Amino acid sequence: MPGYRVLPGSALSPVVLHVPHGSRRVPRSARERIVLDDAALAVELDRMTDTDTGLLAARAALAAGERPWIFENLLSRLVVDPERFPDEREEMRAVGMGAVYTRTSHGEVLRAEDPAYMRSLIDEFFDPYARSMADLVEDRLAGTGRAVVIDVHSYPSRALPYELHGAGARPAVCLGTDASTRPADLSTQLVRRSANAVRSR
């Protein structure tokens, strides 16, 4: 069974709702290398899981005019984090939280620094996930001429110790964009539509 699923949307929709951190599932093979006991692991999953983001994506898809596609991670980010670079480009490696975490959100040991084992997790889980996500984006580009990937996250009201950029306000809703890949007016549209949705409640 793959560590992800793709829920098809409309052939006319360029939108992919990406849900990378919503699962708590840790396969037995990965659990065996995590040094936390069951109680400590449950606490860490509470801290690091973006709870109910899969539900948020599903409800957003139902409300959309053209149903977007959903790409959902079925494994916990404590197995591999599909949003991190698997090499030296990843700044979160500085706190033991690259594509394969070796530290917890509070800096405790999660698993041993074993490059061969970490590489095996990348091969088994990260690489197939990345290829499938890339294929879906290519499919949307071919089908609609564009692709809009929206990562669906949640975050705690207070920064966790591992966060490198945790200072500043933590609003109830955060719309983050990548200036290098988004159309110039996308952020403005998102803010306007979000404000209208809040006012209509």
The Cα–Cα gap between 80 and 77 comes to 5
Angle, alpha carbons 195-198-201 (nearest 5°): 150
pLDDT tens column, 157-166: 899 999 998 8
Question: Per DSSP, what are the bridge partners of residue 198?
Answer: none
pLDDT tens column, 11-56: 999 999 999 999 999 999 999 999 999 999 999 999 999 999 999 9
**Could you tell me the two tokens for 71?**
């790409």
pLDDT at position 191 over 70: no
Residue 1: its pLDDT value, please? 65
